[in-house]
């Protein structure tokens, strides 16, 4: 899995979601999406600290109240899944949180 290539993540339900990996400083168009804050672990592996969603991916920073947690985790990548439907975004976020239990979601 290389930068800007798709990757599949599996939720607790068994559903698979295709995300695209970007550097943290990337900018996005004003559309809805699910995002995962993560850190490269080498050998095309990533550790995740937060799963969230927004109706406007261009609005930054994502979750300003979590920035300290993201910085402490040394987030350097964002995984993005485009999704305009707010209800669907919430379902995906819940499914992935249950699967990965990201630390910044529990703070």
Q: What is the mean pLDDT of residues 17-45?
A: 93
Q: Domain residues for 12?
A: 6-105
Q: What is the mean pLDDT of residues 26-31?
A: 93
Does residue 19 fall inside a structural domain? yes
The DSSP secondary structure of 16-50, one letter per residue, reads EEEEEEEETT----SS-EEEEEEEEEETTEEEEEE
Q: How many domains does the chain have?
A: 1
| pLDDT attached to residue 2 | 43
What burial letters (b/e) apply to 77-89, b meaning 16+ CB within 10 Å? bbbbbebeeeeeb
Does residue 93 fall inside a structural domain? yes
The predicted-structure confidence for 96-105, as pLDDT tens digits, reads as follows 999 999 999 9
Strand partners, 92: none
Residue 31's nearest CA partner among 60, 64, 4, 54 is 54
Looking at residue 98, which CATH number applies to its domain? 3.40.1440.10
Does residue 1 fall inside a structural domain? no
Q: What is the CA radius of gyration of the chain?
A: 13
């Amino acid at each position: 899995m290389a930068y800007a290539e798709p990757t599949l993540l599996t939720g607790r339900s068994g559903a698979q979601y295709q995300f695209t990996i970007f550097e943290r400083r990337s900018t996005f168009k004003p559309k809805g999406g699910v995002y995962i804050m993560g850190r490269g672990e080498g050998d095309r592996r990533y550790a995740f600290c937060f799963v969230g969603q927004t109706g406007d991916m261009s609005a930054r920073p994502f979750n300003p109240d979590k920035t300290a947690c993201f910085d402490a985790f040394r987030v350097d990548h964002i995984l993005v899944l485009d999704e305009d439907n707010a209800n669907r975004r919430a379902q995906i976020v819940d499914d992935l949180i249950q699967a990965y239990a990201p630390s910044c979601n529990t703070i």
